[in-house]
Structure 1
Amino acid sequence: MSATKVVKLTSTLLVSGLLLSGCSWFFGDDTEPETPDTEEEVPVDETDTDSDEDDPEDEDEAEVDQDMTVWFPQIEDTLLDYEGEGNEFAPFTRYPQFVKDDTLQIVESTGGTDIVIIYEYADDEVREVFKRAETYFREDFDDTGLASEQEDFEIILQQPLEEGHSWESPSGSMAEITGTNLEKDLPIGNVLTIEVTRSYADGSEVVEYYGENIGLVERVFRVDDDEANNISSTLRTISENRPEEFQLTVYSVDDQAMGLDSTLVTMELYTNDPARLAIADILKGQAPTTETAQIIADGVDLNFMYLRQDGVVHADFSVELVDMNAGSGVEAMILQGIVNTIGEYYGVEDVLTTVDNEPYESGHILMEEGETWSVDHSNVN
């Protein structure tokens, strides 16, 4: 075959292959160029052509990050505010109260209630393991062991994080990942999300979108096939370096030692801040606006404080509490002020007050084992 025919044939198949193989043309060689090996050149060029379709970098971009903390992060000191449509409880806020190695406790506040939820991070899934409504105080429920109001846990996310993957939770719900790498146009901007559709025995559905490095960004509750009846909640703002705020009424002995004055203060707690320490400072008059509402001496420690399963709050103080050098009437009012302050914070009627985990005992007052004080406003001015 002549060189002319070879050139014509090769250029027809692939011009770039000819240019690579016909290197002798560029060196001014007077001899006839060698016949290019088209069987070797064509596969090389085919590989180049297919590289646009099978580029590993493109595949990596399409893959979903399997790290659960990317889609359900353990954020701290951040208030998430959701706008809502469909009913009065659709808007809500979320705040992370406690973050540990494998758990996240958040409070979800709607117009009707505050719900505390604990999420547990397992190797391949995130579970909702604790839920308690009507909870207007901060408590590390993972430590106190208070029972959850739900019978079985709910699996929120599960690997593999890929479209079509489904699972059944011990609670009875069925969930499926119905979308990945979905761009959601939200008030906070465009967010890359995973879509999870969860169905329940009553026929209702909840579609939740989890945003990269944010967590829950949208929730749509479907009652029926009519979209007009949907109830939706969409993330509106993210406020970082924000505390959670609680309104606390402090009851202290008045100047005449004739009754109890009440002072309303705002208690600010960041993520992982126990309420116990903040309340101790408030009782000592060391918090802002509480200087005139001091109940206990500076040297008194609040050792522990928690809500028991029977609805009684147990507050244990250091032995310095009994060294108040007050008459029996004033001592009783001081203890009543402590009980009223702590009892109202938890929303309970009875408080067990102990000293170094022993019944309260002083020169004037002796409490029996397990004996409690009741919240009482009869002496409040």
Structure 2
Amino acid sequence: MSAFRYLGLFMLLLLFSACGQNSADKTPTYTVNTSKDEETQEDVKEESHTPIEEKVELKSFFMRDGAVATYLGEGNEYASYHARTQWHNDDTVSIYEDNGGTTVIRTYRITDDSIDLIKEQGEFYEQFNPTNEDLKSLPTLSTFLQLPLEKGTTFDEWTLVDVEQTLETPYETYNNVIVVEKTDDSGAIQRKYLVEGFGEVKREFLMKENDAEFIVTSILVTVE
């Protein structure tokens, strides 16, 4: 299949598809009562100190309600886009992505351990205002991100390849950037760069055919 056909498929994708626990037992400390009055010493209960793994707040991978982010694209006419965030409730959020050719809505359900895509529709030009019951009834289509946020974690066809990357964007330079990627049967690579407090700050599509390399990128430039 030619490189140009791959790019055509990627354009269609842009158009219509869009933290184990360690246990430490602490020896209990008892207080000796040395007062003249022989008071009964209270039993001191041993406290269990089992630190819980510090979990990332997965909802922090989305922007505030009403935020509009602009991404500058290179390599494809539909790589530039605006993304508007709409929170429906504490654990469900939609992103409206307008790339000039169409508007794609993607709705995500946030659980304790994952962010799951539950709605994806192109040519969507309305406001999505479902009830909580409607949202609960939507099935999981795919997983956007999953704990633990450790290098090597896999989910669906994605692999978490980095958790400490530094990334410079026109908007801000980020540390501890999470990078997830997948490779399809043709060898084409898709990457997402995720940051707490912002979500997706960059995406890439890379493909090589013979000596030619094709790269399509979208990177965050503004947030309003």
Under a length normalisation based on structure 1, what TM-score does the superposition of the two structures give? Answer: 0.41
Q: 1:234 aligns to what?
A: 219
Alignment equivalent of 1:167, drawn from 141, 148, 155: 155
Cα 1:64–1:113, aligned 2, differ >3 Å: closer, same or farther?
farther
Separation (CA, whole Å) in 2 of partners of 1:136 and 1:144? 23
Structure 1 unaligned residues grouped into runs of 5+? 1-62, 169-173, 240-381
Separation (CA, whole Å) in 1 of partners of 2:188 and 2:119? 22
Q: What letter matches 1:67 in structure 2?
A: E
Alignment equivalent of 1:221, drawn from 191, 201, 205: 205
Separation (CA, whole Å) in 2 of partners of 1:120 and 1:189? 27
Q: Deviations over 1:326-377 (max 9, x none)?
A: xxxxxxxxxxxxxxxxxxxxxxxxxxxxxxxxxxxxxxxxxxxxxxxxxxxx
What do you get for the CA RMSD once the two structures are aligned? 2.8
Q: 2:58 aligns to what?
A: 68
Query: Displacement of 1:128 after TM fit?
Result: 1.0
Count, aligned residues: 169
Q: 1:344 aligns to what?
A: none
Alignment equivalent of 2:168, drawn from 185, 188, 197: 185
Query: Displacement of 1:234 after TM fit?
Result: 0.2
Q: 2:127 aligns to what?
A: 138
Q: Deviations over 1:53-84 (max 9, x none)?
A: xxxxxxxxxx99632123x1352121100000
Separation (CA, whole Å) in 2 of partners of 1:202 and 1:152? 26
Q: What letter matches 2:216 in structure 1?
A: I
Cα 1:227–1:122, aligned 2, differ >3 Å: closer, same or farther?
farther
Q: Deviations over 1:194-235 (max 9, x none)?
A: 001123455432100001211100000123367841110000
Q: Deviations over 1:267-319 (max 9, x none)?
A: xxxxxxxxxxxxxxxxxxxxxxxxxxxxxxxxxxxxxxxxxxxxxxxxxxxxx
Whether the aligned pair in 1 keeps the contact of 2:207 and 2:213 (CA below 8 Å) is no
Q: What letter matches 1:160 in structure 2?
A: P
Separation (CA, whole Å) in 2 of partners of 1:201 and 1:145? 36
Cα 1:124–1:236, aligned 2, differ >3 Å: closer, same or farther?
same
Under a length normalisation based on structure 2, what TM-score does the superposition of the two structures give? Answer: 0.67
Separation (CA, whole Å) in 2 of partners of 1:64 and 1:232? 32
With a CA cutoff of 8 Å and minimum separation of 6, indicate the structure with the bigger relative contact order: 2
Q: How does 1:1-381 map to 2 (within 5 A)?
A: 66-70=56-60, 72-141=61-130, 145=134, 153-168=141-156, 174-192=157-175, 193-201=177-185, 203-224=187-208, 228-239=213-224
Separation (CA, whole Å) in 2 of partners of 1:65 and 1:110? 34
More helix by proportion, 1 or 2? 1
Q: What letter matches 1:221 in structure 2?
A: F
Query: Displacement of 1:183 after TM fit?
Result: 1.1
Structure 2 unaligned residues grouped into runs of 5+? 1-52
Separation (CA, whole Å) in 2 of partners of 1:229 and 1:121? 34
Q: What letter matches 1:106 in structure 2?
A: I
Cα 1:227–1:96, aligned 2, differ >3 Å: closer, same or farther?
farther
Whether the aligned pair in 1 keeps the contact of 2:73 and 2:216 (CA below 8 Å) is yes
SS at match of 1:224: strand
Q: What letter matches 2:83 in structure 1?
A: R
More strand by proportion, 1 or 2? 2
Q: 2:18 aligns to what?
A: none
Whether the aligned pair in 2 keeps the contact of 1:64 and 1:180 (CA below 8 Å) is no
Q: 1:294 aligns to what?
A: none
Whether the aligned pair in 2 keeps the contact of 1:195 and 1:207 (CA below 8 Å) is yes
Whether the aligned pair in 1 keeps the contact of 2:63 and 2:198 (CA below 8 Å) is no
Separation (CA, whole Å) in 2 of partners of 1:215 and 1:132? 20
Query: Displacement of 1:95 after TM fit?
Result: 0.4
Whether the aligned pair in 1 keeps the contact of 2:82 and 2:97 (CA below 8 Å) is yes
Whether the aligned pair in 1 keeps the contact of 2:71 and 2:220 (CA below 8 Å) is yes
Q: Deviations over 1:6-34 (max 9, x none)?
A: xxxxxxxxxxxxxxxxxxxxxxxxxxxxx
Separation (CA, whole Å) in 2 of partners of 1:90 and 1:134? 16
Query: Displacement of 1:167 after TM fit?
Result: 1.9
